[in-house]
A and B are shown apart, each in its own frame.
Chain A
Amino acid sequence: MATRRQFLKTSALGLGGISIGLSAFKYVSDFTGLQQNAADLTVNLTRTPTYCEICFWKCAGWVYKKEDGSIWKITGNEEDQHSNGRFCPRGTGGVGMYTDKDRLKTPLIRTGERGKHEFREASWEEALDMVADNMKKLSSQYGPECVALLNHGSGGKYFSDLLKAFGSTNIAAPSYAQCRGPREVAFVNTFGELIESPERTDIRDSKCLVLIGSHIGENMHNGQVQEVSDAIDKGVSIITVDPRFSVVASKSKFWLPIKPATDLALLLSWIHVLINEGWYDKDYVEKNTYGLDLLKEHVKTMTPEWAYGITTIKPDVIRETAKEMFNASPAVIIHPGRHVTWYGDDTQRLRAVAILNALLGSWGRRGGFYNPAVASVPNYPHPPFPTPSRTWRDAFPGQFNLADETLASGLCDATIPAPTRSCSFKAWLVSGTNLINTLPDQAKTLEAIKSLEFIAVIDTMPMEITSWADVILPECTYLERYDTLRVSPHRKPAIALRMPAMEPKDNTKSAYWIAREIASRLGLLEYFPFEKLEDYLDWQLKQIGSSLEEMQKIGVKTFEREQDDMYFQPGEQHEFFTPTGKIELYSTSFAEEGFDPMPVYTPHPEPPEGYYRLNYGRAPMHTFSRTSNNPNLNDLMDENALWINPKVAKDWGLKKDQRIWLQNQDGKISNFSIKVRVTERIRWDSVYMVHGFGHATKQLSRTYGKGISDTEMITNVMTDPIMGGTGMRGNFVTFLTEKPEEVAS
Chain B
Amino acid sequence: MRYAMAIDTKKCVGCSDCVVACQTENNVPIGYCRDWIVEVVDGTYPQLELEIRSERCNHCDNSPCVRCCPTGASHVEEGGFVLVTHNKCIGCGACIASCPYDARYPHPDGYVDKCTFCMHRVTKGQLPACVATCPTKCMYFGDLDDPNSPVSLVLKNRKHKTLIPEAGTKPQLYYLI
Residues on A lying within 8 angstroms of B by beta carbon are 4-5, 28, 30, 32, 34-42, 72-76, 85-89, 92-93, 95, 217-218, 220, 222, 225-226, 228-230, 232-233, 245, 247-248, 250-251, 255, 257, 620-621, 631-633, 635-636, 645, 679-684
Rounded to whole angstroms, the CA-CA distance of A93 and B14 in the bound complex is 15
Rounded to whole angstroms, the CA-CA distance of A131 and B116 in the bound complex is 53
The contact of B50 among A36, A86, A250, by CB within 8 Å, is A250
B8-21: contact bitstring with A at CB < 8 Å (1 yes, 0 no)?
Answer: 00110111110111
Instruction: Give B11-53 interface residues, CB cut-off 8 Å to A.
Output: 11, 13-17, 19-21, 23-27, 30-31, 38, 41, 43-46, 48-50, 52
Q: Is the CB of B30 within 8 A of A635?
A: yes
Interface residue B78 (Cβ < 8 Å from any Cβ of A): no
Interface residue B85 (Cβ < 8 Å from any Cβ of A): yes
Q: Is the CB of B20 within 8 A of A89?
A: yes
The verdict on A218 contacting B13 (CB below 8 Å), with A38-B116, A92-B24, A635-B31 known, is yes
Rounded to whole angstroms, the CA-CA distance of A41 and B129 in the bound complex is 13
Chain B, residue nearest A88 (CB): B135
Residues of B within 8 A of A620 (CB): 13-17
Q: Is the CB of B15 within 8 A of A245?
A: no
Q: Is the CB of B20 within 8 A of A93?
A: yes
Rounded to whole angstroms, the CA-CA distance of A284 and B30 in the bound complex is 56
The verdict on A680 contacting B41 (CB below 8 Å), with A218-B13, A229-B137 known, is yes
Interface residue B105 (Cβ < 8 Å from any Cβ of A): no
B102-137: contact bitstring with A at CB < 8 Å (1 yes, 0 no)?
Answer: 100001111100001001100110000100111111
Q: Is the CB of B13 within 8 A of A247?
A: yes
Residues of A within 8 A of B123 (CB): 39
Rounded to whole angstroms, the CA-CA distance of A592 and B124 in the bound complex is 65
Chain B, residue nearest A222 (CB): B135
Mostly helix, strand, loop or mixed at chain A's interface?
loop
Rounded to whole angstroms, the CA-CA distance of A406 and B56 in the bound complex is 48
Chain B, residue nearest A682 (CB): B45
Rounded to whole angstroms, the CA-CA distance of A245 and B132 in the bound complex is 29
Mostly helix, strand, loop or mixed at chain B's interface?
loop
Q: Is the CB of B135 within 8 A of A86?
A: yes
Q: List 24 A-B contacts (CB under 8 A).
A: A30-B110, A34-B86, A34-B87, A35-B87, A37-B83, A40-B120, A89-B16, A89-B17, A92-B20, A92-B21, A93-B24, A217-B13, A226-B137, A229-B135, A233-B11, A245-B50, A251-B10, A251-B13, A620-B14, A621-B20, A632-B30, A635-B31, A680-B44, A680-B48
Rounded to whole angstroms, the CA-CA distance of A620 and B54 in the bound complex is 14
Residues of A within 8 A of B87 (CB): 34-35
Q: Is the CB of B85 within 8 A of A87?
A: no
Q: Is the CB of A645 within 8 A of B137?
A: no
The contact of B133 among A38, A40, A87, A679, by CB within 8 Å, is A87
Q: Is the CB of A41 within 8 A of B45?
A: no
Q: Is the CB of A229 within 8 A of B136?
A: yes
Residues of A within 8 A of B76 (CB): none
Chain B, residue nearest A74 (CB): B24
Residues of B within 8 A of A75 (CB): 21, 132-133
Rounded to whole angstroms, the CA-CA distance of A73 and B21 in the bound complex is 8
Rounded to whole angstroms, the CA-CA distance of A92 and B26 in the bound complex is 13
Interface residue B94 (Cβ < 8 Å from any Cβ of A): no
Interface residue B163 (Cβ < 8 Å from any Cβ of A): no
Of A36, A226, A229, most B-chain CB atoms within 10 Å = A229
Q: Is the CB of A247 within 8 A of B23?
A: no
Chain B, residue nearest A636 (CB): B16
The contact of A645 among B24, B30, B45, by CB within 8 Å, is B45
Residues of A within 8 A of B109 (CB): 30, 32, 35
A231 CB, nearest partner CB in chain B, Å: 10
Q: Is the CB of B45 within 8 A of A680?
A: yes
The contact of A229 among B11, B19, B23, B120, by CB within 8 Å, is B11
Chain B, residue nearest A223 (CB): B135
Residues of A within 8 A of B21 (CB): 73, 75, 92
Of A36, A85, A245, most B-chain CB atoms within 10 Å = A245
B41 CB, nearest partner CB in chain A, Å: 6
Q: Is the CB of B50 within 8 A of A95?
A: no
Rounded to whole angstroms, the CA-CA distance of A88 and B10 in the bound complex is 18
Rounded to whole angstroms, the CA-CA distance of A74 and B20 in the bound complex is 10
Interface residue B138 (Cβ < 8 Å from any Cβ of A): yes
Rounded to whole angstroms, the CA-CA distance of A93 and B11 in the bound complex is 22
B72-96: contact bitstring with A at CB < 8 Å (1 yes, 0 no)?
Answer: 0000000000010111000100000
Q: Is the CB of B138 within 8 A of A229?
A: yes
Rounded to whole angstroms, the CA-CA distance of A587 and B156 in the bound complex is 53
A259 CB, nearest partner CB in chain B, Å: 11
The verdict on A681 contacting B10 (CB below 8 Å), with A30-B110, A229-B135, A632-B20 known, is no
B153 CB, nearest partner CB in chain A, Å: 13
B118 CB, nearest partner CB in chain A, Å: 8
A685 CB, nearest partner CB in chain B, Å: 11
The contact of B46 among A4, A232, A233, A255, by CB within 8 Å, is A255
A641 CB, nearest partner CB in chain B, Å: 13
Of A34, A35, A232, A683, most B-chain CB atoms within 10 Å = A35
Residues of B within 8 A of A682 (CB): 45
